[in-house]
A and B are shown apart, each in its own frame.
Chain A
Amino acid sequence: GAVVSQHPSRVICKSGTSVKIECRSLDFQATTMFWYRQFPKQSLMLMATSNEGSKATYEQGVEKDKFLINHASLTLSTLTVTSAHPEDSSFYICSATVGRGVDEAFFGQGTRLTVV
């Protein structure tokens, strides 16, 4: 299957700083990318849907000014957690699709964010 790469795999930052997470589709062009957040022992929670060249669509309850998403090209989407706080500590996962169907969703390896 296709490869989606996330970077970094883990990051520790100080409270109040911003952190950028990259999601790249390595061998295909992703028309749509999704960002999820997962707390320990819980399921993935969809945060936003990102389409290349347009503004992201955020799920209810997700602050768009806090979680900035940029999908500048068909192979790269970034999630920036601004003014991070300890409660933002979580596992962030991206996925990318080629737009042909549910079975074409490929996930990155995730980013473990710890805010201290």
Chain B
Amino acid sequence: LAKTTQPISMDSYEGQEVNITCSHNNIATNDYITWYQQFPSQGPRFIIQGYKTKVTNEVASLFIPADRKSSTLSLPRVSLSDTAVYYCLVGDRNEKLTFGTGTRLTIIP
């Protein structure tokens, strides 16, 4: 399992675009990059997953450079309800999920 490093916390104002970067220098060829969101006292919720380049869905975009040693989760026009902890996970699709420290995102009105 590749180790991941994320900022411990971030603050942003409502309406801004938020980018959270995750470093995973030891990512393996078969590893995918997956982001989860967790609100207090709730289980994590899948946000997005990618292997390379860019992936976009209805809630976020995921940017992965060619060397895949990092990835950036982009949340467009955040609102107060986006305040949560965001986890970056890297692993083979058959592996168990191991969570790192995550990034605590606080949206300021």
Contact = CB atoms under 8 A, between A and B. Distances in A.
Interface of A: 1, 4, 6, 34, 36, 43-46, 49, 91, 93-95, 100-103, 105-110, 112
A105 B93 contact: no
Q: How large is the interface on B (under 10, 10 to 19, 20 to 34, 35 or more residues)?
A: 20 to 34
A95 B45 CA distance: 10
Contact of B32 (A91, A102, A106): A102
Contacts, number: 58
A105 B97 contact: yes
Given A34-B96, A95-B97, A109 B43 contact: yes
A102 B49 contact: yes
Main secondary structure on A side of the interface with B? strand
Given A43-B87, A44-B44, A107-B44, A34 B99 contact: no
A67 to B, nearest CB: 16
Contact of B34 (A34, A94, A103, A110): A103
A33 to B, nearest CB: 11
A46 B98 contact: yes
Nearest to A91: B41
Contact of A43 (B42, B92, B99): B99
A110 B41 contact: yes
Contacts of A91: 41
A55 B42 CA distance: 27
Nearest to A107: B43
A93 B100 CA distance: 16
B103 to A, nearest CB: 11
Interface in B90-109: 91-102
Given A43-B100, A44-B99, A95-B97, A103 B41 contact: no
Interface in B65-109: 87, 89, 91-102
B93 A110 contact: no
Contact of A46 (B32, B92, B96, B101): B96
A113 B79 CA distance: 31
Contact of A101 (B32, B42, B87, B99): B32
